[in-house]
Amino acid sequence: MSAAAAIDQISLVDGEYDNDLLLKIASESPTFAHMVRSSLEYLDSSGDNHLPTWLGSWVEDRPKTQVQLVVTQHPDFTIDED
């Protein structure tokens, strides 16, 4: 099995939470789904537990605003749906 196929096998479902938005975005964007699954694979294999990935910034007509995808297993950085 290739590394890409192994990444595609990582489930994005957690029965404890409502993951509808994550699943919807992942189904609409193979790029996003691959980024999430690659991040999970990295966390599982690296010993690291927090991985922010910079996606872009806005600086015109507003304070500098950044967008990140954060995948974390660090207990200080996890949030609840509420």
* pTM reported for the whole predicted model: 0.71
pLDDT at 18 over 80: no
R_g (Cα) of the chain, nearest Å: 14
Phi-psi region of 48 (alpha: psi -120 to 50; beta: other; left: phi over 0): beta
In angstroms, the first-to-last Cα distance of the chain is: 39
pLDDT band at 19 (very low <50, low <70, confident <90, very high): confident
Sorted by where each begins, the domain ranges of the chain are 3-72
Give the tokens for residue 66: 């950044």
pLDDT band at 1 (very low <50, low <70, confident <90, very high): very low
Distances (CA, A) of 72 to 2, 28, 40, 80, 81: 25, 22, 9, 13, 15
